[in-house]
Amino acid sequence: MFALQIDPAGPVVEIELPDDPALLRQDLATRLGGSPDRGVYHPRALMWLGGNATNEGLPPNVVATALASTWRGMDIGASYFLHGRVIVTGAVDGDADRLEEDLAGQAREVGRVVADLARVWATTPPVSNEAAWAEIIRAVLAHQPL
């Protein structure tokens, strides 16, 4: 099944996951480094997270948090960040399914916006992490249809 992988320091990458539910769960556990938890930020998508990523001290995933914020239409980063690798699948009746191209396109666009800002910040850094996050949220919400 078509899905996306978002690493904390990397781009949005297309991946193929098994269709069989048992094999899918194993594959997600391997990719996420532990028991996969699902986050629901869009009615047609699931974001799979490492169940213990925050406690393990994995880095925040800015792109995945920005994408979740876009899909929710609100800044979830104001309350919490997603950590570690995130896998994005489609969702049908609460189960994983092939990710639809319009949602994959939104995820790629969020990744592009965050990468563009990071390039600008290489020469003109923001005054704080909070200012950087506010700029990311403004940019991704301005570029994404909900």
Q: Hey, where are the domains in the chain?
A: 2-143
Q: Which residues contact 86 (CB under 8 A, 6 or more apart)?
A: 5, 6, 47, 48, 49, 61, 64
pLDDT value for 79: 87
pLDDT value for 144: 61
pLDDT value for 43: 96
Residues with pLDDT less than 70, the chain: 144-146
pLDDT value for 87: 98
Distance CA 56, CA 135 (A): 28
Query: What's the whole-model pTM score?
Result: 0.93
Token digits of residue 100? 């639809």
pLDDT value for 30: 95
